[in-house]
Amino acid sequence: MYVNRVWHWLFGAGLVTTPDDFGHVGERPSHPELLDALARRFMDEDWSTKRLIRSIVLSRTWQQSQDAAAGALDIDPTNRLLHHFPVQRLDAESLRDAMLAVSGRLDATLHGPTTNPSRLSEDPQKRLFSGPLDGLGRRSIYTKITIMEPPRFLATFNQPAPKIPTGRRDIANTPTQSLAMLNDPFVTNQAEFWAAQLITRQDASIASRLQHMFLKAVGREATSEELSRWADAARDFAETENIPEADRLASTSLWQTMAHAMFNTKEFLYVR
Amino acid sequence: MSVDHHQSLWSRRELLARTSNGFGLMALAGLMSESQSADKAPSASVAIPARAKHVILCFMDGGPSHVDTFDYKPELARQQGKPIGDSQVSKLSQSNAGRVWFGSPWKFAQRGQSGLWVSDLFPHIAGISDDICVVRSLVGRQPLHGQQNLLLHTGRVTGLAPSFGSWVTYGLGTDNQNLPGYVLLNNDWIPNGGIENFSSAFLPATNTATLLRAKGATIDNIQPTDSIEKQRRKLALLRAQDQTFAQSTPEHHLIESAIRNYETAFRMAVPEIANVDQESESLENSTGSTAPTTIRSTTPCNACEPVGWSKPAFDSLKSRAR
């Protein structure tokens, strides 16, 4: 059960795709011998989650690219046999943490007190208090959770209610999430924070600034086509706001817009 | 709520328009019901055709007690002021033998042909007693607000079960796949028991209540932070960027559906679309009836969650009880 969950967390789907139900209405494992072998190894290695994760991520299966081989999708359209590494949406906490990490606001301190999520209104009788918008840069795992009202941003991205163990989260794909990425004050706040860092950099050109942003946000270099696409957009935004060419590398407003757009790319939201 | 042939403070249309801060927005919220993990909403075909097409649940938290309204207890009045005694002490509540009985100060009478007991506290309801149904079998054993709210909404004191409205939408389906089946009108106020009162639990996520706020922004993040022009340019950039990404991945359907959601989100955030007056007028004109058309044509279940009663009578009762 546990080994299957770890597999599920790593690949987005378990060897048994119903991690909460190994009973007769649950799905059968796609690779029963593998599941048994991993479970045995897990017990032999003192129930060490760290070792379990290490043995999975050192496998060739984990290290595959996200490209599907020709014909593979015809034979196994749902990728049950893991012929490529599946694209996965970041879960709620990872998404929030990723924005903090990219903007430079992340406080990586381990342990310490929890912070209240930012709320629209407080209700002391129900112990609903509001915390700072950026949660002091603390990782999402340190967000205070109450069963009365979940943290809005995290719940929007399917952080489950805290009352029952949830082996498999819903991965809803809704316009509410798009609205959150476009308009939630946390996202714009993090874009602003990132912009403040960006304008202090000694970048030679708009293009090299953009190249830095691609590396930071999606972990790869931009293609030349992408660079010109984003540079065109930066020029349009700057012209609309009447920012003279000489001031563009130092304009917080311009780079907040670009940072906000970068957070809103699907490549940021999905891992491959 | 308007009570049929009686004079009401608000017309039904006004109520809906005011309490939802733009009921037309409900239509937009409907666009939010697409879920990758949820199955399609079941169709409305069932063995026994249901006559009821829509359910409106008004959960009036903090309302007057049943013994002051529909539940005639003459013995309470006779025992008025006497201690309840050891035999009536309950482990479930925080009672003790020294507490005293308190009868209702309201006069009760049987009303209409049905002989329904209604106190003078509700004169209008007394006048329509033959048109309403009073359920007396709803009994809770734990004197705790949260647990009882969950019992009422989900059928279990522990929650973890689908909300009333989730079952209704799951069972009835919804006429219009573009609209949410289950809409919750609320005042930024979470009842005891929490959001779980409206959760779909183990039913598909599309059966969870779509929450519309009565004050301020109806839906979270509906107010755009950018000017429309700027957002349009940003989305054009994103569209080009995301298409490239979608094409490069075997799971392109996921990415494409996320791209579509951005378009929907953009349309939702345009203020003109959210104009309730135009919306209601056009509905009115096209059907010849008033605003509950929105309910009729769209949502099997509405739960209204008012902040509580404006309850001078109830408050004076409480002060007398002390």
For residue range B187-223, list pLDDT tens digits in order.
Answer: 666 778 877 888 887 776 667 777 776 666 677 787 7
Q: Is A127 left (phi over 0), alpha (psi -120 to 50) or beta?
A: left
What are A128's strand-pairing partners? A123
Find all residues with CB under 8 Å of A88, minimum gap 6, and list them.
A12, A270, A271, A272
Name the residue among B196, B222, B241 with its Cβ closest to that of A161: B196
Average pLDDT over residues B225-238: 90
Average pLDDT over residues A56-69: 91
Residue A53 has pLDDT above 80, yes or no: yes
Q: Does B247 touch chain A (CB under 8 A)?
A: no
Higher pLDDT, B288 or A267: A267
Of chain B residues 151-180, which have a CB less than 8 A from chain A?
159-160
Task: Copy the structure tokens of residue A96.
Answer: 């929030």
Per-residue pLDDT band for B56 (boundaries 50, 70, 90) equals confident
Residue B301 has pLDDT above 50, yes or no: yes
pLDDT in tens, A199-216: 999 999 999 999 999 999
* Beta strands in B164-245, from DSSP E residues, in sequence order: 182-186, 210-213
Distance from CA of B321 to the nearest CA of A (A): 23
Q: What is the DSSP string of A160-223?
A: PPTTS--SS------HHHHHHHHH-HHHHHHHHHHHHHHTTS--SSHHHHHHHHHHHHHSSPPP
Task: Copy the structure tokens of residue B301.
Answer: 């279940």
For an interface test with B, give the residue of A174, A242, A243, A268 to mutate (most B CBs within 10 A).
Answer: A174
Residue A269 has pLDDT above 60, yes or no: yes
Of the candidates A174, A195, A261, A213, which has an alpha carbon nearest to the alpha carbon of residue B230? Answer: A261
Per-residue pLDDT band for B55 (boundaries 50, 70, 90) equals confident
Task: Tell me how far apart the alpha carbons of residues B147 and B276 are, in angstroms, rounded to a whole number.
Answer: 36
Q: Does A89 touch chain B (CB under 8 A)?
A: yes
End-to-end CA distance of chain A: 26
pLDDT in tens, A115-140: 999 988 888 888 899 999 999 999 99
What are B213's strand-pairing partners? B186
- Report the residue of chain B nearest A189, measured CA to CA: B225
Per-residue pLDDT band for A232 (boundaries 50, 70, 90) equals very high
B194/A149 CB distance under 8 A? yes
Higher pLDDT, B39 or B150: B150
Per-residue pLDDT band for B30 (boundaries 50, 70, 90) equals very low
Contact between B215 and B232 (Cβ < 8 Å): no
Contact between A228 and A236 (Cβ < 8 Å): no
Average pLDDT over residues A160-176: 76
Residue B140 has pLDDT above 60, yes or no: yes
Q: Percentage of residues in chain B with pLDDT exceeding 70?
A: 61
How many CB pairs lie under 8 A apart between chains A and B?
A: 163
Higher pLDDT, B143 or A101: A101
Q: Does B223 touch chain A (CB under 8 A)?
A: yes
B291 by Cβ neighbours in 10 Å (0-12 / 13-18 / 19+) ranks as buried
Residue B28 has pLDDT above 60, yes or no: no
Helix (H) / strand (E) containing A259: helix A252-263
Mean pLDDT of chain B, nearest integer: 70
pLDDT of residue B197: 87
B38/A174 CB distance under 8 A? no
